[in-house]
């Protein structure tokens, strides 16, 4: 809760900085604030506090995800440092991002559906604007409009679902609803199930699971690169944490209702994400599809729905986000240099800047799930959780899908090391980016080696 | 020394890290000293372990050392721990020993290459993963090593990455290996489901409670064998290995002849109890091995690239090893792995020396008469050729003979085919040998001028390996000689559980002598044929561009035997091997493999059109999905 | 009895006006129909004894937001001609799907009419009770929504203001 207040305060502070003219100093303040958020929320480990009439519940799940989100946000700010240097609406960007983080934190710690809705809306509304923040770029405008239209549609479904569930149970509280299900099992009206499924649709949209994923490639590609990075990491993590929290606390006992549907959804997502990614020439768009594919893997945790799920989903989102941040950092440096986001821009990077190429390779290998990178263990724990619940089929599909995944991740690696591009001038990397890349690389390896520690948190 | 086992993989990884981090700034000699030194240090420890094991009594021949728990999820736990037993100690000895020699050789061979230091760092990394594969005490560690050596092999095949063909070869190797890896991975998963553990000790202990031929064991072993097929280049996943010769020659010697490709054999030998319990799989292994051996040998007959010949011969010899495993002769299989490592490394290094002298020329049609110019290479290559052809008492003779004897027990027809294979082996190896070393030099003047013996750092490994190829066979003398089969005694604890389940069916000494006799006599005939063809008549395979002229044919008419031989033996097989190569291998097998890839890409291309960019369509799809979901719920 | 007829009347008006919003070609007509729809929904609120909500609904939606809408439409000078042409195929598909959605929703909700609903406080919609709920039970969401509005404002300003160089 303190972290939430700190984040909101930080957001307001950035707005004030515009008025009182200290906006040049706001960048380090925000970084410090994010570190503070991590510390503040980590202090609540094992306290399990309920807030304001059970609106929020800071259990270890919430604390862990708050820390994760704040950390990724920290890394993200380092990544987008030079983007902001050129940006005129500096404080607006900062404020929107920070408020989006507030939404994300609410989404991982809510205990009441009204809070879930507010969290999602706060996050989404900031992003609608941020996606369109390049006002002179048609693609950016298109992305914002599409995201907004489709997002509004999905919100409609979500809200409808919440309303139906409220109608049956008379409560927004997750625990009360869960109790209602156990008390009335076998006697629950169809209205309730419809509500559950409609909420599922709304959440599936947010995590961009097929067939509700159509917005993702267009929006990811059209948005400014750093915003895409934000959406692919923080938004995805928060949305998934919210999805899982909802289903784990509330609907885990009625798996017969949604199990098969999520099963099909997971297969579709894995197939669409991985297969379409193979044909992309733009790295940005490829990463967009890969992020869809990763949503498919994450769905396995929801299908598993056992005591391993929470830990594995934490590990997976962490591994995925860190690797994605690395990939986006390299991509942003490349785009800055050559103004080209196609895979050709990576040609010969192994010669032009071996460190960057190495970082990208590690990120790609981690995303592809090659040991000993963190991504392998993420997949491994997810598959393990699913196998524990007897979900063998979906694990087989996921393994096949990850084999397809290897193909397109390696395209980038091959381009970097085995092809030579027209431009062979060395690529410069700023100090902050170097720092960030070293940090993420260490994390990717460390998480692989100490996967056990992370997984035992939850 | 046994307690220091962790040092064995530690040295190479330190070497890799040093070379990887600072190698760029180092001089070439420093890099080669660090790279070779790291492997040498491992080798010393490995020797120490080996000697200590030799002295240990039966109860102390197996030891496990855990470093730390790596993964611990529910029932599933994996420890980083090393297993030392006769089998793994033998393998680490081969890996570090031959690895060291090849490092030494590379110092000379790669001396003028700009990627010299990078090359050494890759080699060290490879040795590290290979040791991990062999030393791990559970299947997950083996898998990590397995993937690691695959990665290194990929990096090293594509080492000269400026050439697109080499890159394609690297990619091909990687993809084919992934197919095998999938089988291996599924096998591990099934092992865990069946036995509740991936630890060798637990799995093999529990496996003894299963009866022979149970479906689940058969499935597991088949999956494991698919993994072995990919890594050890067996039908139908073997095409990558000949292409992999694109890498520098030391790589071919180390990875694609002596060590990595034998990982599949190690895996089966390690899991011998599982395979013994699955007779069906054993039969499949034997048939696949034999088919591969025969098939690759026929192709070897028609190749003109010195490394390609050796590559096909490697595939063929690997097939022979699988044949041995398939008939339950695990010791013989491992024995052949060892001797093969000696003489095949020798042959590859010798070939490297030849290529080095020929300034990069690999086509044997442009060689010849190199005997004078490369005396050491000539001698050592001759020993290698005799060893692989099975000339007694060189190493290959004993191991091959032992395998064939076991095959004879198992199935007479298989034995016959095995003899046929080894005849072909002898033929193409001596054909290669004669074409390269005897007769007149057929290359350009410039090359002739440049011919020279290789530097010491290259010839010393050749000499050491030649000595090993001569002596290696005496580790496993056949029973007929009334000598102790040293290797069998040493490996006994590993295969104990399997041996009690196998039929103890020993051949009489007379039969054994007869088998040996047949093998030697056929071999001698074949060598004589090759000699008359390539030495007496100076025959050279025709260049690709020319077809045989009538006049040319007439010259041959003098030798009726040759014509006859050509007509009924060489030509059909030539034709067949070319057809196999062009139709079966290039079109059919490659077609299937590439087809899968293109299918995915094609689907990707078409699926992309669903992304129309039209919001109306997106929302339409979304609502339609919602309708479907609710409908499913309604009908539930 | 009377309430029942009023309900049916209001329900008819809201469904009809909502349909007309979609069907009308003239954007100004659309907005006017939307206002009508809002009014009829406000009527529903009154029927449910939630006068405050009804009033707020009329003031905020029908009053403020719709007037803004009208201004924007008039400023942009949208009319029948400038409406982009939609392919018949899409119209057809949209009609079919939304029809299907309707059928399915009705199908799934059917049978719920006999359900025993948890009986809430019938006076929950009165200002006093509403205030109590909002500032006691739902204090946190109430405050968090202020962040939501702040985001909306900042966003609107950011998109609206000129690029300063």
pLDDT at B159: 79
pLDDT at B541: 66
pLDDT at A247: 93
Answer yes or no: are the C-beta atoms of A176 and A169 closer than 8 Å.
yes
The most confident of A69-73, B211-215, B315-319, by mean pLDDT: A69-73
Q: Between chain A and chain C, how many beta carbons pairs sit less than 8 Å apart?
A: 98
Mean pLDDT of C148-162: 88
Whether residue C155 and residue A129 make contact (CB cut-off 8 A), yes or no, is: yes
- Tell me the shortest Cα–Cα distance from B600 to chain C, in angstroms: 30
- Tell me the shortest Cα–Cα distance from A57 to chain C, in angstroms: 12
Residue B562 pLDDT class (50, 70, 90 cuts): very low
Mean pLDDT of B524-550: 70
Residues of B in contact with A197 (CB under 8 A): 629-630, 633
Q: In whole numbers, what is the pLDDT of chain B averaged over residues?
A: 79
Does any CB of chain A come closer than 8 Å to the CB of residue C26? no
Answer yes or no: are the C-beta atoms of B234 and B267 closer than 8 Å.
no
- Among C104, C105, C108, C110, most B C-beta atoms within 10 A, so best to mutate, is C104
Of C108, C117, C154, nearest to A92 by CB-CB distance is C154
Q: In whole numbers, what is the pLDDT of chain A averaged over residues?
A: 88
In CATH, what class is C1-81? mainly alpha
Q: Which residues lie closer than 8 Å to A184 by C-beta, 6 or more apart?
A: none
Q: Rounded distance, CA B399 to CA B341, Å?
A: 12
What's the whole-model pTM score? 0.62
Residues of B in contact with A146 (CB under 8 A): 615, 618
Q: Rounded distance, CA A211 to CA A295, Å?
A: 12
- Among C22, C93, C109, most B C-beta atoms within 10 A, so best to mutate, is C93
pLDDT at A124: 94
B360 vs A321 pLDDT, higher one: A321
Mean pLDDT of A29-34: 91
- Among A86, A89, A124, most C C-beta atoms within 10 A, so best to mutate, is A89
Least confident interval from A393-402, B56-65, B514-523: B56-65
Mean pLDDT of A327-356: 86
Q: Rounded distance, CA C106 to CA C110, Å?
A: 6
Phi, psi of A30 (to 5 degrees): -65, -45
Phi, psi of B311 (to 5 degrees): -65, -45
Whether residue A149 and residue B604 make contact (CB cut-off 8 A), yes or no, is: no
Residue B561 pLDDT class (50, 70, 90 cuts): very low
Q: Between chain A and chain B, how many beta carbons pairs sit less than 8 Å apart?
A: 112
pLDDT at B604: 66
- Model confidence at B556: pLDDT above 50: no
Q: Which residues lie closer than 8 Å to B282 by C-beta, 6 or more apart?
A: B275, B276, B325, B326, B327, B328
Whether residue A118 and residue C118 make contact (CB cut-off 8 A), yes or no, is: no
Residue C153 pLDDT class (50, 70, 90 cuts): very high
Sign, Cα dihedral of B441, B443, B444, B446 = negative
The most confident of A29-43, B24-38, B65-79, B492-506, by mean pLDDT: A29-43
Does any CB of chain A come closer than 8 Å to the CB of residue C152? yes
- Model confidence at C68: pLDDT above 50: yes
pLDDT at B593: 64
Residue B557 pLDDT class (50, 70, 90 cuts): very low
pLDDT at A399: 87
The predicted complex's ipTM stands at 0.89
Residues of C in contact with A99 (CB under 8 A): 147, 150-151, 154
- Rounded to a whole number of angstroms, the CA Rg of chain A reads 21
Rounded (10°) CA dihedral A88, A93, A94, A95: 120
Cα dist. B593→B175, B486, B589, B596 in Å? 9, 43, 6, 6
Least confident interval from A86-90, B28-32, C50-54: A86-90
Q: Which residues lie closer than 8 Å to B463 by C-beta, 6 or more apart?
A: B376, B380
Q: Rounded distance, CA A366 to CA A360, Å?
A: 10
Residue C5: other Cβ atoms inside 10 A: 9
Can you give the residue ranges of every domain in chain B? Answer: 1-137, 138-527
- Tell me the shortest Cα–Cα distance from B165 to chain A, in angstroms: 11
pLDDT digits (tens, 9 = 90+) for B206-215: 888 888 878 8
Least confident interval from A1-15, A436-450, B115-129, B447-461: B447-461
Does any CB of chain B come closer than 8 Å to the CB of residue A420? yes
Whether residue A132 and residue C159 make contact (CB cut-off 8 A), yes or no, is: yes
pLDDT at C42: 93
Can you give the residue ranges of every domain in chain A? Answer: 2-455
- Model confidence at B436: pLDDT above 80: yes
**Chain A from 209 to 228: CB within 8 A of any B CB:** 211-212, 214-215, 217-218
Whether residue C90 and residue B627 make contact (CB cut-off 8 A), yes or no, is: no
- Tell me the shortest Cα–Cα distance from C108 to chain A, in angstroms: 6
Least confident interval from B281-290, B309-318, B620-629: B620-629
pLDDT at C40: 93
Cα dist. C62→B559, C7, C14, C33 in Å? 108, 20, 13, 10
Residue B606 pLDDT class (50, 70, 90 cuts): low
Does any CB of chain B come closer than 8 Å to the CB of residue C108? yes
- Tell me the shortest Cα–Cα distance from C154 to chain A, in angstroms: 7
Whether residue C107 and residue B634 make contact (CB cut-off 8 A), yes or no, is: yes
Residues of B in contact with C86 (CB under 8 A): 616
Residue C146 pLDDT class (50, 70, 90 cuts): very high
pLDDT digits (tens, 9 = 90+) for A245-254: 999 998 988 8
pLDDT at A81: 82
Residue bearing tokens 């050129």: A86
Spell out the SS3 assignment of chain A.
CHHHHHHHHHHHHHHHHHHCCCHHHHHHHHHHHHHHHHHHHHCCCCCCEEECCCCEEECHHHHHHHHHHHHHHHHHHHHCHHHHHHCCCHHHHHHHHHHHHHHHHHHHHECEHHHHHHHHHHHHHHHHHHHCCCCCCHHHHHHHHHHHHHHHHHHHHHHHHHHHHHHHHCCCEHHHHHHHHHHCCCCCCHHHHHHHHHHHHHHHHHCCCCCCCCHHHHHHHHCCHHHHHHHHHHHHHHHHHHHHHHHHHCCHHHHHHHHHHHHHHHHHHHHHHHHHHHCCCEHHHHHHHHHHHHHHHHHHHHHHCCCCHHHHHHHHHHHHHHHHHHHHHHHHHHHHHHCCCEHHHHCCHHHHCHHHHHHHHHHHHHHHCCCCCHHHHHHHHHHHHHHHCCCHHHHHHHHHHHHHHHHHHHHHHHHHHHCCCCCCCCCCCCHHHHHHHHHHHHHHHHHHHCHHHHHCCC
For B614, name the nearest residue in chain C, comparing CA atoms only. C90
């Amino acid at each position: 809760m303190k972290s939430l207040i700190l984040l909101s305060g930080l957001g307001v502070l950035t707005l004030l900085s515009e008025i009182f003219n200290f906006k040049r100093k706001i960048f380090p303040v925000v970084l410090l604030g994010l570190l503070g958020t991590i510390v503040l929320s980590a202090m609540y480990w094992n306290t399990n506090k309920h807030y304001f009439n059970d609106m929020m519940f800071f259990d270890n799940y919430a604390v862990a995800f708050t820390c994760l989100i704040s950390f990724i946000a920290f890394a993200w700010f380092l990544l987008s440092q030079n983007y902001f240097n050129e940006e005129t609406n500096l404080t607006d960007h900062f404020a929107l991002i920070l408020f989006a983080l507030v939404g994300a934190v609410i989404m991982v710690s809510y205990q009441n559906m009204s809070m879930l809705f507010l969290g999602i809306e706060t996050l989404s509304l900031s992003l609608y604007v941020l996606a369109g923040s390049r006002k002179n770029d048609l693609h950016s405008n298109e992305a914002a409009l599409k995201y907004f239209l489709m997002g509004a549609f999905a919100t409609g479904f979500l809200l409808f679902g919440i309303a139906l569930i409220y109608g049956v149970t008379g409560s927004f509280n997750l625990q009360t609803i869960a109790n209602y299900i156990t008390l009335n099992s076998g006697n629950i009206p169809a209205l309730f199930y419809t509500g559950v499924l409609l909420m599922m649709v709304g959440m599936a949209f947010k995590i961009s699971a097929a067939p509700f994923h159509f917005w993702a490639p267009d929006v990811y590609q059209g948005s400014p690169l750093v915003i895409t990075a934000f959406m692919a990491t923080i938004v995805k993590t928060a949305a998934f944490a919210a999805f899982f929290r909802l289903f784990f606390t509330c609907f885990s006992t009625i798996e017969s209702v949604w199990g098969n549907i999520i099963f099909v959804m997971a297969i579709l997502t894995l197939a669409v994400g991985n297969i379409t990614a193979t044909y992309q020439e733009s790295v940005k768009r490829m990463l967009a599809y890969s992020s869809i594919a990763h949503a498919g893997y994450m769905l396995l945790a929801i299908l598993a729905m056992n005591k391993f799920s929470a830990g594995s989903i934490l590990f997976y989102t962490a591994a995925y986000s860190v690797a994605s941040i690395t990939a986006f950092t390299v991509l942003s440096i490349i785009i800055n240099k050559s103004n080209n986001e196609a895979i050709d821009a990576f040609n010969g990077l192994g010669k032009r800047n071996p460190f960057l190429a190495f970082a990208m390779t590690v990120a790609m290998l981690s995303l592809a799930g090659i040991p000993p990178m963190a991504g392998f263990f993420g997949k491994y724990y997810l598959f393990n959780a699913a196998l524990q619940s007897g979900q063998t089929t979906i694990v087989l599909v996921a393994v096949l899908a990850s084999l397809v995944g290897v193909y397109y991740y390696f395209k980038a690696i091959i381009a970097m090391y085995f092809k030579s591009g027209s431009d062979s001038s060395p690529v410069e990397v700023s100090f902050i980016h170097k720092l960030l890349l070293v940090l993420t690389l260490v994390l990717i390896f460390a998480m692989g080696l100490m996967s056990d520690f992370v997984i035992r948190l939850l | 020394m046994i307690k220091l086992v962790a040092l064995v993989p530690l040295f190479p990884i330190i070497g890799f890290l040093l070379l990887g981090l600072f190698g760029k700034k180092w001089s070439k000699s420093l890099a080669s000293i660090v790279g070779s030194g790291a492997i040498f240090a491992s080798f010393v420890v490995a020797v120490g372990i080996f000697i200590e094991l030799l002295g240990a009594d039966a109860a102390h021949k197996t030891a496990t050392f855990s470093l730390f728990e790596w993964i611990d999820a529910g029932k599933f736990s994996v420890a980083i721990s090393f297993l030392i037993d006769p089998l793994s100690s033998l393998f680490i000895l081969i890996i570090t020993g031959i690895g060291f020699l090849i490092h030494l050789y590379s110092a000379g061979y790669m001396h003028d290459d700009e990627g010299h230091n990078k090359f050494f760092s890759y080699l060290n990394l490879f040795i590290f993963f290979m040791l991990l594969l062999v030393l791990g005490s559970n299947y997950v560690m083996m898998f990590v090593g397995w993937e690691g050596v695959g990665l290194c092999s990929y990096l090293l095949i594509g080492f000269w990455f400026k050439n697109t063909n080499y890159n394609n070869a690297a990619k091909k190797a990687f993809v084919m290996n992934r197919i095998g890896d999938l089988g291996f991975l599924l096998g591990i998963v099934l092992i865990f489901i069946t036995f509740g553990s991936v630890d060798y000790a637990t799995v093999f202990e529990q496996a003894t409670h299963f009866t022979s031929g149970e479906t689940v064991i058969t499935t597991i072993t088949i999956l494991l064998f698919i993994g072995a097929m990919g890594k050890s280049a067996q039908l139908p996943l073997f095409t990558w290995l000949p292409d992999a010769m694109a890498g520098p020659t030391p790589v071919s010697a180390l990875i694609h002849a002596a060590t990595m490709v034998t990982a599949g054999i190690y895996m089966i030998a390690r899991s011998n109890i599982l395979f013994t319990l699955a007779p069906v799989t054993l039969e499949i292994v034997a048939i696949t091995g034999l088919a591969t051996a025969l098939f690759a040998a026929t192709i070897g007959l028609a190749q003109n690239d010195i490394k390609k010949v050796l590559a096909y011969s490697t595939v063929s010899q690997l097939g022979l090893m699988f044949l041995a495993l398939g008939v339950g002769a695990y010791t013989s299989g491992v024995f052949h792995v060892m001797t093969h490592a000696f003489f095949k490394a020798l042959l590859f290094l010798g070939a490297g020396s030849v290529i080095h002298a020929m300034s990069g020329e690999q086509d044997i049609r442009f060689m010849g008469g190199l005997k004078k110019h490369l005396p050491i290479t000539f001698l050592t290559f001759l020993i290698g050729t005799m060893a692989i052809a099975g000339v007694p008492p060189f190493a290959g003779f004993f191991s091959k003979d032992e395998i064939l004897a076991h095959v004879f027990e198992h199935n007479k027809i298989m034995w016959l085919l095995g003899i046929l294979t080894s005849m072909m082996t002898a033929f193409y190896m001596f054909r290669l040998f004669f074409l390269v070393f005897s007769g007149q030099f057929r290359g350009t003047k410039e090359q002739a001028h440049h011919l020279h013996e290789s530097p010491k750092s290259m010839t010393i490994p050749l000499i050491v390996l030649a000595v090993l190829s001569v002596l290696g066979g005496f580790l496993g003398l056949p029973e007929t000689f009334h000598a102790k089969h040293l290797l069998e005694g040493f490996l006994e604890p590993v295969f104990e559980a399997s041996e009690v389940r196998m039929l103890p069916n020993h051949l009489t000494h007379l039969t054994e002598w007869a088998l040996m006799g047949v093998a030697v006599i056929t071999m001698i005939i074949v060598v004589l044929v090759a000699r008359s063809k390539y030495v007496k008549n100076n025959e050279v395979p025709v260049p690709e561009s020319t077809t045989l002229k009538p006049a040319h044919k007439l010259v041959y008419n003098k030798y009726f035997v040759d014509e006859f031989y050509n007509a009924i033996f060489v030509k059909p097989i030539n034709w067949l091997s070319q057809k196999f190569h062009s139709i079966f291998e290039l079109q059919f097998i490659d077609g299937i493999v590439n087809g899968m890839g293109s299918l995915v890409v094609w689907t990707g291309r078409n699926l992309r059109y669903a992304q129309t960019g039209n919001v109306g369509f997106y929302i339409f799809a979304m609502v339609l999905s919602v309708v479907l979901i609710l409908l499913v719920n309604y009908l539930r | 009895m009377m309430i029942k007829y009023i309900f049916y009347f209001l329900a008819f008006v809201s469904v009809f006006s909502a349909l007309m919003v979609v069907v009308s070609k003239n954007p100004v007509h659309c907005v006017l129909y939307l206002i009508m729809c809002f009014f009829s929904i406000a009527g529903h609120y009154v029927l449910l004894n939630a006068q405050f909500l009804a009033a707020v609904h009329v003031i905020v939606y029908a009053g403020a937001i719709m007037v803004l809408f009208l201004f924007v439409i008039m400023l942009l000078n949208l009319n029948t001609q400038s409406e982009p042409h939609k392919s018949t195929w899409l119209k057809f598909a949209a009609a079919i799907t939304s029809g299907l959605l309707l059928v399915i929703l009705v199908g799934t909700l059917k049978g719920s009419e006999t359900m025993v609903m948890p009986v809430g406080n019938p006076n929950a919609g009165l200002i006093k009770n509403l205030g109590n709920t909002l500032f006691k039970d739902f204090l946190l969401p109430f405050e968090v929504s202020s962040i939501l509005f702040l985001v909306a404002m900042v966003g609107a300003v950011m998109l609206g203001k000129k690029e300063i160089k």
